[in-house]
Amino acid sequence: MASGSDRNPIIIGGLPSQVPDFDPEETQEWLDSLDAAIDDRGRERARYLMLRLIERAREKRVAVPEMRSSDYVNTIPTRAEPFFPGNEDIERRILNATRWNAAVMVSRAQRPGIGVGGHIATFASSASLYDVGFNHFFRGKDEGDGGDQVFFQGHASPGIYARAFLLDRLSEQNLDAFRQEKSKAPYGLSSYPHPRLMPDFWEFPTVSMGLGPIGAIYQARMNRYMHARGIADTSKSHVWAFLGDGEMDEPESLGQLTIAAREGLDNLTFVVNCNLQRLDGPVRGNGKVIQELESVFRGAGWNVIKLIWDRSWDPLLAQDRDGILVNRMNTTPDGQFQTYATESGAYIRDHFFGDDQRLRAMVAGMSDDQILHLGRGGHDHKKIYAAFKAAVEHTGQPTVILAKTIKGWTLGPNFEGRNATHQMKKLTVADLKGFRDRLHLPISDRELESGLPPYYHPGRDSEEIQYMHDRRKGLGGYVPTRVVRAQPLALPDDKVYASVKKGSGQQSIATTMAFVRLLKDLMRDKELGKRFVLIAPDEYRTFGMDSFFPSAKIYNPLGQQYEAVDRDLLLAYKESPTGQMLHDGISEAGCTASLIAAGSAYATHGQPLIPVYVFYSMFGFQRTGDQFWQMADQLARGFVLGATAGRTTLTGEGLQHADGHSQLLASTNPGCVAYDPAYGYEIAHIVQDGLRRMYGPDSEDVFYYLTVYNEPIQHPAEPEDVDVEGILKGIHRIGRGTSGSIPAQIMASGVAVPWAIEAQRILAEEWNVRADVWSATSWNELRREAVEVERHNLLHPEEEQRVPYVTRKLTGAEGPFVAVSDWMRSVPDQIARWVPGTYQSLGADGFGFADTRGAARRFFHIDAQSVVVAVLTELAKEGKVDRSLLKQAIDRYQLLDVAAADPGAAGGDA
């Protein structure tokens, strides 16, 4: 054997071999002992000895590298399993009834004339995991706090409904209305967990794969944040996330594991249902997904509990003196385990145990049927209880339980472990009979052969049902339940908005800064100020929000354990365990998860929070649009700021930072109220109305999206005759034309409003056109209201027909209408149908690019001169000006020469 000095100075498996050896003779003795163990007893015995040495080293607090994975056996040894406090016989009968009703509900949903589908196999594999949680761990809300937060796996929803049916929380009529929310209203049940669809039942929408895990992480963090800031006592709340092993392939599932470990979120437990199957086949057919996930979670700093084998394996493992059985478990790929799940006991005897005499001897006294029923740990209540108890008692780290199950478990040979089981939705009569027999339910053949299979209920006074109610009473109420206990907030009066309404005077500021000024004033309010939760993805300074660092401070549960490099500055970086600002690093997905957790705190914990999430607008709806749908589904509230908005305002950053479409994406979200304000006083009224709508006496389940810009402009003071209704509904006139004889109308939003005003001046001075300028604060809201009006008119032809607000507002305005914005034309085109006159829009369609603002706007033909030509073009179509003027105007303003444009104010980040 090579001595330490002869080895290459590298790190092998995390162990630095180049560390000096101060006692080579002693080292050689240890190495010789290891060699002897290998030679005399084999590699498996030597491996066992090494593992025990590592275990003892940790007991003695000797720092040794963490193992990336352990043997393919249960983490908790049989000797360390706690006493199981439940009545396992009763719990098994309860679970059998739940399994039956879940499967029958989905099967009945496939009846002729309905055929709405559903999923059976996912809950079948995870039913025992949920049952132990419901009976022994999940806390309800009856004690007045938020209880536990449980993120249920979306495809398992039939099982949650089935359990609620046994508890009389749902009726047969509800179960038969599964996936028929409108046609069977008010009894309809949503396909998956959706608070918007069932606001008194579900808390967290989870079926969009990967969003449940990240949502659970940031919910656990939000619980700690609220507790640290004294807003709510969340010390008893535990967050549970039930996930699929295939789901863990989603980047959102694993992307934020380190924050949970870094902040020591021991109030969080992931339960990964490792049935080894995706939707169409094995997750890791040639590999071992449990081992892979163990390595990932261990590396991220999580406590890992593997729950692989049920109690029937305990006697065999106790005989495994040479480690041959564990080695076979370690080396058998997942795809083969799935095959074993569908084969006979004889097949398992021949293929799993058969090629080694020692393995064959272990099962020599077992029948083929006994071998067939060697089970997986995720179906064993006692093993599950041990894992759950260890998870909630572990401190300092979040825990993941990797529970091995069989997809379609108990549903029969046509379902269990089959690749197609996820898509199988209906049980045949033969399947039902076998399923009934497996569950030992008192249902006759005649009931199964005549019509739809029946639901099973053991009776309200039965031992099983009373046990269920007693367990839930002991745990604080029924789960899932969504309760809104929050009271309306006392909102500040108009005075707090006064400074922003005064305008910026001679100073030029961006609308981002106007919003930040208003936010600073709102946060000074004694009642409201503490409710704000500031969120940004590593960009507070970009948005001029570093001014909040000294007062609000950045949340860090460990505080600031270093001297900040900028500690001598007025706006030094300051972290605190009670900080108000969430500085989530470069993770828009993480920030949006924080936004959702904060925005739904009014329901989760009965304490309203007002999240304000500020980000580069390009990285909002485009990057995390799925989470904004999750936010709407979860009925979360708050303010979302798409800063540095527009296709041409952040031109130095180029294409990937040039947002000309997020307003259009926002328009697709029914829970999003989107605005594109131009001036500070517009922002003031929008924010004030948003606070009223989301946190006032008649609160609504919406969230506000404001696009704000980084281009400095002079903000006028609020006019005395300000049209507040127009601002809030989406359009108001900000400037009547005062000279020129040919009327026209210019509509603009956001940063384009100054271009429209400049175009108004040019038209009057050079072309005798008298143009009015309108600020379109929300193209989206104008369209939304108009669509609702048309819908009403369609269904109520006998009533007086309503007229959309935008039509009423613009009626009487003379001339053609030209709309301009820093968005693609599809944004202002949303209202074209309802504009009472000739309409043309200008927009920044196509990819952005790096250049000056002036050049970019000339390229897209949205600058003031392009607006002038657009107005003249529409007037020429109406015969109000000669067409020859158009070529004159194009030449005069050099519209075809991008380099001829005034470069304008310098682009930048803030």
Distance CA 641, CA 674 (A): 10
User: For the chain, how are helix, strand and coil distributed in percent, rounded to 5?
Assistant: 45, 10, 45
**Preceding omega of 480 cis (within 30 degrees of 0):** yes
- Give the separation between CA 478 and CA 355, rounded to whole angstroms: 51
Task: Please report which confidence band the pLDDT of residue 13 belongs to, taking 50, 70 and 90 as the band edges.
Answer: low
Contacts of 432 (CB under 8 A, 6+ apart): 107, 448, 453
- Using CA atoms, how far residue 793 sits from 651, 802, 876, in Å, is 44, 7, 35
pLDDT at 591 over 60: yes
Instruction: Using alpha carbons only, give the angle 332, 334, 340 rounded to the nearest 5 degrees.
Output: 80
2-11, 424-433, 580-589: lowest mean pLDDT where?
2-11
User: Does the pLDDT of residue 21 top 60, yes or no?
Assistant: yes
For 751-779, the pLDDT digits (tens) are 999 999 999 999 999 999 999 999 999 99
> Residue 9 has what pLDDT?
45
Model pLDDT for residues 103-150, shown as the tens digit of each residue: 999 999 988 888 898 888 899 999 999 999 999 999 999 999 999 999
pLDDT at position 734: 98
User: Is the model's pLDDT at 59 over the cut of 80?
Assistant: no
Q: To the nearest whole percent, how much of the chain has pLDDT over 70? A: 96
- Under a CB-based contact definition with an 8 Å cutoff, are residues 769 and 745 in contact? no
Q: Give the pLDDT band (50/70/90) at residue 281.
A: confident
How much is the average pLDDT of 168-197? Answer: 95
**What pLDDT sits at residue 603?**
97
Which residues sit opposite 706 in a β-bridge? 641, 675
List of residues 6+ apart from 448 with CB closer than 8 A: 429, 432, 433, 436
In this predicted structure, what is the pLDDT of residue 909? 46
Please tell me the predicted confidence (pLDDT) of residue 819: 98
Helix H or strand E segment including 411: none
pLDDT given at position 18? 56
887-898 as b/e, with b when 16 or more CB fall inside 10 Å? Answer: eebbeebebeeb
Q: What is the pLDDT of residues 680-711, one digit of tens each?
A: 999 999 999 999 999 999 999 999 999 999 99
Closest CA to 408 of 125, 740, 135, 723: 125
Is the distance from CB of 542 to CB of 617 less than 8 angstroms?
Answer: no
Predicted pLDDT of residue 17: 53
Q: Is 467 exposed, middle or buried (0-12, 13-18, 19+ CB in 10 A)?
A: middle
3-class secondary-structure state, position 112: coil
Mean of pLDDT over the chain: 93
Could you give the C-alpha distances from 253 to 243, 244, 300, in angstroms and in order? Answer: 9, 10, 13
- 829-833 mean pLDDT: 98
**Res. 424 pLDDT band, cuts 50 70 90:** low
* Among 43, 51, 49, 41, residue whose Cα is nearest residue 75: 51
pLDDT reported for residue 733: 98
- Average pLDDT (484-501) is 95
Q: What is the DSSP letter of 492?
A: -
Q: For residue 8, what pLDDT is reported?
A: 47
Rounded Cα–Cα distance for residues 636 and 196 (Å): 10
Q: Which of 11-25, 33-47, 578-592, 672-686 has the highest mean pLDDT?
A: 672-686
Contact present, 256 and 597 (Cβ < 8 Å): no
Residue 272's pLDDT is: 97
Is residue 674 predicted with pLDDT exceeding 90?
yes
More confident residue, 70 or 47: 70
Mean pLDDT, range 855-871, rounded to an integer? 97
Q: Does residue 66 have a pLDDT over 80?
A: no
The residue-averaged pLDDT of 876-886 equals 96
Q: What is the pLDDT of residue 3?
A: 43
Structure confidence at residue 910 (pLDDT): 39
